[in-house]
Amino acid sequence: TVEQLDTPENVSDSLPISLQKTAKKSRESSVALVNLNLITGEVSFASGTYIEYNGSFFILTAAHAVQKDGSVIMAVTPNDQYPCGGIVYHSKGSDIAIVESPDIPERRAININKSIPSYNKWKRSLQALDRVVYTGYPNATGPMTVHGHIMGFLEGVLYVNMYAWSGASGSGVFDEHGNIIGIVSALEVGDFGPVQIPLHSSIIVRPTYLVDWEQAFKDYYEKEEE
């Protein structure tokens, strides 16, 4: 059945073991996000990664995928819907956001303290032609698992050769070692004179080193203590 085929464990055994484990980790933590603006009635779709930080649950996604005011955010899995809480962190500069999440029993949260490379390990995770994986909901369909490789770098940006489309924004991007190194932010656009064409096999990933994780959660935990 489709339900059996869509299980997180159903990953090709022709892949290297490390990539199989990373793909499963990606699939186990992926959720779709629905953002309903209560003021305008506009509905948008995106992707996110279910994470855990110091015993609390959150969803890591793209800042442009969630709105700070007048919106209801739902995390959606193949079997259920889960109302999310407020936006804990929102940075337009890095295009990264963190949303408060309920416990999602059918997903396995990524321990963010253990899954972000430490300072000395970032170079190992960011080398040209390194293989990377994300699971998300491109074109509001999924979960879809995609793998590709890093093509190059700009300040605060990774260029990655892999498929993406509208709805994939916010998907967590993992390196082959299982570290979450970034989020899908945008498609690269080719500028051919007066015509701009999205290059759906060249995507822009915003690296997770742009987030000061301790500071990002500081306000949240201070409110919890009040």
For 20-42, the pLDDT digits (tens) are 999 999 999 999 999 888 777 78
Percentage, residues of the chain above pLDDT 70: 96
Closest C-alpha to 68, from 47, 48, 91, 87: 87
Percentage, residues of the chain above pLDDT 90: 58
Can you give the pLDDT at residue 189?
77
Q: Please state whether beta strands 71-76 and 43-53 pair in parallel, antiparallel, or not at all (unpaired).
A: unpaired
Can you give the pLDDT at residue 157?
93
> pTM of the entire structure?
0.91
pLDDT, mean over the chain: 89
The answer to whether 71 and 61 have CB atoms below 8 angstroms apart is no
| Strands (E) located in 67-214 | 71-76, 81-83, 87-91, 96-100, 110-111, 131-136, 144-154, 157-161, 172-175, 180-192, 195-207
The answer to whether 106 and 57 have CB atoms below 8 angstroms apart is no
Q: Binning pLDDT at 50, 70 and 90, where does residue 224 land?
A: low
CB proximity list for 160: less than 8 A, separation 6 or greater: 132, 148, 149, 150, 151, 173, 202, 203, 204, 205
Cα dist. 143→27, 85, 94, 134 in Å? 7, 23, 25, 10
The β-bridge partners of 111 are: 52
Measured CA to CA, the distance from residue 76 to residue 85 in angstroms comes to 14
